[in-house]
Amino acid sequence: MTFTKLVVLVVLAASAKAADHDMYHNCSRVDVCSQNRELERQERYQVILEGAMFSQGVASFRVQTADGIEDVGLNITAIEGNIFRVQIEETESSRYHIQDVLDGEPTIVNFDDVQLWLTSAEIFLGSNRAVVNFSPFSIEFYVNDVLTVVIEGDRLTLQNEELHTPFTVGVSFTQALHLYGLHEHADYLALRTTAPGGDDPYRVKTMDLTYYELHSTMAMYGAVPVLYGHGINSTSGLFLHNAAEQWVEITNKDVGADAFFMVDSGALDIFIFLGPSTTDVVRQYTSLTGVAHLPPIWTLGYHQCRWGYADQTDVETVIADLDANDFPVDVIWLDIQHTQDMKFFTWNSENFSDPFDMLANLASTHRYLVTLSDPHFKKEEGYFVYDEATANDYFIKNPDGTNYEDECWPGTSSWMDYLNPAARDYYSSLYLYENWNGTTSTLGGIWNDMNEAAIFNEEIEKTFPYDVVHYGGVSNRDIHNMYGYLQTMATHKGLIDRDNGALRPFILTRAHFAGSQKYAAFWTGDNTAEFGFIPISYSMCLNANLLGLVFCGADVGGFFGEPSEELLQRFYQAGAWLPFFREHSNIGSERREPYLYPEDVQATIRETIKTRYAHLPVWYTLFYEHTRFGDPVIRPLFYHYPNDVELLEIDDQLLVGQNILVKAVGESEVESVQVYFPGGENEIWFSAQLDGTTFPGTGWTDIPVTIERIPVYYRLGSIIPTKQTSRPSTTDMKDDGYTMIVLLRNDEMAEGTIYNDDNLSFEYRDSQKYIYADLSATDMLLVISAIDDSDDEEFEIVIDDIVTLTYNDDGTVVKNSYKHDVNGVPLNQMKYQGKEPLVINLR
């Protein structure tokens, strides 16, 4: 018995090492990359002056090849918020234009001025300018008179093949010191130079990359064709509004960086973001593709998952054991075993025979369930989804018009055609309580997995073949990268409809695309129980957060393999500071619920989870601010310290909002780690242990670490709202007061924000029912005051304690803790109820 198990483990461990490089194609095996990669720079196009037309915010040009054979249109449109849109397309075009990705039609604004010269046209917009050079053709973008982005004419090609419409285009970020973006890759945050003979270009295509490797440009589950060029004086960016496979060659130079896009099909439709700050660029991008709505509060708690919890007793036992051992938890997850024969929207009659009972039990402990729901459907007559989708023609087709079939979890399957609006509506309706018997609102979320789509066929790189056909005769080539996006869109609508719009849906998706934040959280997929997968989770989630995909996490413990006790603790400690916090393990791995470990390991994990819960007010406020401004929830250091060239490549440290600095420990048996403290000598970082230790923002510092915790710091000048009473779940924290942690310098002000609402509904959005308030403090006075006049008294702020840490110029720190004001009135009797400021005098 032990022997067999050992053999199995050894096999798993051995195969867990690397992705299959023969099965997944490299550049040389994919035409659009191999045929274009070494394209010579050459003047191919020129602008024909006579064709130029200017109207309200749209400039149109005719562009031709020297021989006059190719006739191409160019539109440059000014979009609200310092954005230009560039569209280049053949006059007689059959290029496919994707739908449903932008968050509404972009708002066109008028140009401030246009000047037409013999050799160029200049378009003025605020302090920016686009210059179209006629011959050689290029489009230059100036920010405050500084050349910042160039769309290069000499690497532009538009190709019309029988089955697709490839194109190439080069974009140069002339001020950039680094490029970021092009999600999703398990790579450094700052994109690396790729070049023939070295690394392949970054491949952007949704794929189930099994056993993904660290520091690779291979395609993964998500595909977000967005690139930011960050320089000392400005950040700029682009979004290629296109869902086809792409390969992007990156060339970093001393100053400036080039990106060369090789795109398999679809439209050349590029949005250019002119910043000028990093914050501006992120807001420009999220203004186009949308923001996440607030997650229900319980999704910010701790999630317990495993492939798989096998029956409903298992579900109840795991929750009971977590409770018995004092581990807070909000959610337990079920993988595919909850279904009957892998048929989605059914329950396994033997092992989940009474789902209502299971859900009622979970609800009685204030916990939620999330179950898996994939886009493939078992080919089986009599399975109602298969029958109904077949009868209505809702499956993806082969070129000959028959249903596309291949192997997946249930055996031979077909895939729902989410491009078809009727199929989406049908799929949404499956989530209704009346259509999925055995569900209640305690089944609070859905996990859309395998939606790249993933297929058990290595001949086709385990995803859709290029030639399958979606609704309306659309080739997969044109929409491949947004298939999973469309599934989450339908799931989201299904959950909204199911609860009559009263509850915020929660969806976790593996595949994702530009704009997926509107519908779903995502995680970094099937990672491995190795130390390197800890820092990479920070790099990947930071990149995602810059691209609007704020609700990101990584499997705590590592999906494949067996974490050592040390690795598991480090994974928890890092994961607790990512927006989505879930332990997950493979069916082939040993069980790893935290109560299975020795008491010292349990103690570390327990403290880590409790620290997460204590900071829920910070997380929730940041998520609200994301919905309102489009800002990232976690941020790389350069987001707040854009001028410091030393920190542009740091990707194993993150900022939670602006005020909490976290360093992941991603190495075994270290006694100290190097932490970069940003901001200069006046920026002081307080240890989150509140032991009075501080560090100035003067760069790299050696910090001793033990297994108990990783380095976490609060910023001087901030107020951190926390809830310190330990409870089993977020719901149980409802009546607890806040502990305000105030980090300040003598005679200076500390500031923060706080947000509260009903935690579950859309009333914050639809009826402005919330409290969003400013916090400000000097060493003896704390003031809470409304930011909006809509503050709702239903959601009062009650403070239990105020802890002040006052930094003196000689470096000493004085710590005080208050439960009463200067007159002896208990703080928790002084409620802030919106509108009228609450002033707490501690003097």
If one asks whether residue 435 binds ligand NAG (CB under 6 A), the answer comes out as no
If one asks whether residue 233 binds ligand NAG (CB under 6 A), the answer comes out as yes
- Nearest 10 degrees: CA dihedral of 568, 572, 575, 577? -150
If one asks whether residue 73 binds ligand NAG (CB under 6 A), the answer comes out as yes
Q: How far apart are CA 444 and CA 433, in angstroms?
A: 12
Q: How far apart are CA 185 and CA 165, in angstroms?
A: 25
Question: Nearer to ligand NAG by C-beta: 352 or 538?
Answer: 352
CB of 29 to ligand NAG, least distance (A): 6
Residues 818-837 that bind ligand NAG (CB under 6 A): none
If one asks whether residue 51 binds ligand NAG (CB under 6 A), the answer comes out as no
CB of 784 to ligand NAG, least distance (A): 15
If one asks whether residue 29 binds ligand NAG (CB under 6 A), the answer comes out as yes
Phi then psi for 114, rounded to 5 degrees? -135, 135
Question: Nearer to ligand NAG by C-beta: 274 or 813?
Answer: 274
Interface pick for ligand NAG out of 34, 60, 251, 768 (rule CB under 6 A): 60
If one asks whether residue 199 binds ligand NAG (CB under 6 A), the answer comes out as no
Burial class (CB in 10 A: 0-12, 13-18, 19+), 559: buried
Q: Which tokens hold the place of 81?
A: 């918020």
Q: How far apart are CA 405 and CA 456, in angstroms?
A: 11
If one asks whether residue 351 binds ligand NAG (CB under 6 A), the answer comes out as yes
Q: Are 560 and 586 in contact (CB under 8 A)?
A: yes
Mapped onto helix, strand or coil, the DSSP state of residue 587 is coil
Q: Which tokens hold the place of 449?
A: 């997995």
Specify the stretch interacting with ligand NAG by CB under 6 A; choose among 217-225, 348-356, 694-702, 829-837: 348-356
Closest of 453, 450, 442 to residue 479, by C-alpha:
453
CB of 843 to ligand NAG, least distance (A): 29
Specify the stretch interacting with ligand NAG by CB under 6 A; choose among 401-409, 470-478, 594-602, 727-735: 727-735
Q: How far apart are CA 803 and CA 838, in angstroms?
A: 17
Question: Nearer to ligand NAG by C-beta: 21 or 215?
Answer: 21
If one asks whether residue 38 binds ligand NAG (CB under 6 A), the answer comes out as no
Before 563, cis peptide (omega within 30)?
Answer: no
Interface pick for ligand NAG out of 723, 728, 771, 832 (rule CB under 6 A): 723
Question: Nearer to ligand NAG by C-beta: 522 or 795?
Answer: 795
Question: Nearer to ligand NAG by C-beta: 348 or 413?
Answer: 348
Closest of 169, 168, 201 to residue 187, by C-alpha:
201
If one asks whether residue 432 binds ligand NAG (CB under 6 A), the answer comes out as no
Residues 734-793 that bind ligand NAG (CB under 6 A): 734, 756, 758-759
Residues 598-657 that bind ligand NAG (CB under 6 A): 616
Specify the stretch interacting with ligand NAG by CB under 6 A; choose among 85-93, 211-219, 514-522, 564-572: 85-93
Size of the site for ligand NAG (CB under 6 A): 33
Burial class (CB in 10 A: 0-12, 13-18, 19+), 766: exposed
Question: Nearer to ligand NAG by C-beta: 321 or 758?
Answer: 758
Q: Which tokens hold the place of 492?
A: 């989201």
If one asks whether residue 795 binds ligand NAG (CB under 6 A), the answer comes out as yes
If one asks whether residue 254 binds ligand NAG (CB under 6 A), the answer comes out as no
If one asks whether residue 19 binds ligand NAG (CB under 6 A), the answer comes out as no
Q: How far apart are CA 537 and CA 576, in angstroms?
A: 12
According to DSSP H, which parts of 547-636 are helical?
565-575, 599-614, 616-629
Q: Are 270 and 240 in contact (CB under 8 A)?
A: yes
Q: What are the C-alpha distances in Å from 31 to residues 26, 161, 171, 206, 246?
A: 10, 12, 21, 17, 11
320 CA to centre of own chain: 32
Mapped onto helix, strand or coil, the DSSP state of residue 786 is strand
CB of 676 to ligand NAG, least distance (A): 21
Catalytic residues: 449, 526
Strands 235-240 and 268-273: antiparallel
CB of 513 to ligand NAG, least distance (A): 22
CB of 706 to ligand NAG, least distance (A): 30
Interface pick for ligand NAG out of 57, 438, 563, 678 (rule CB under 6 A): 438
Closest of 335, 774, 719 to residue 559, by C-alpha:
335
Question: Nearer to ligand NAG by C-beta: 60 or 785?
Answer: 60
Specify the stretch interacting with ligand NAG by CB under 6 A; choose among 18-26, 39-47, 394-402, 450-458: 18-26
If one asks whether residue 28 binds ligand NAG (CB under 6 A), the answer comes out as yes
Phi then psi for 652, rounded to 5 degrees? -115, 15
If one asks whether residue 348 binds ligand NAG (CB under 6 A), the answer comes out as yes
Burial class (CB in 10 A: 0-12, 13-18, 19+), 382: exposed
If one asks whether residue 41 binds ligand NAG (CB under 6 A), the answer comes out as no
CB of 414 to ligand NAG, least distance (A): 22
If one asks whether residue 87 binds ligand NAG (CB under 6 A), the answer comes out as yes
Burial class (CB in 10 A: 0-12, 13-18, 19+), 828: middle
Question: Nearer to ligand NAG by C-beta: 108 or 670?
Answer: 108
Interface pick for ligand NAG out of 297, 332, 430, 797 (rule CB under 6 A): 297
Q: What are the C-alpha distances in Å from 187 to residues 215, 651, 652?
A: 4, 10, 12
Question: Nearer to ligand NAG by C-beta: 310 or 749?
Answer: 310
DSSP 736: P
Interface pick for ligand NAG out of 9, 102, 310, 830 (rule CB under 6 A): 310
CB of 549 to ligand NAG, least distance (A): 23
438 CA to centre of own chain: 31
The site for ligand NAG (CB under 6 A) is made up of 21-22, 26, 28-29, 60, 73-75, 87-89, 232-233, 297, 310-311, 348, 350-351, 354, 356, 437-438, 616, 723, 730, 733-734, 756, 758-759, 795
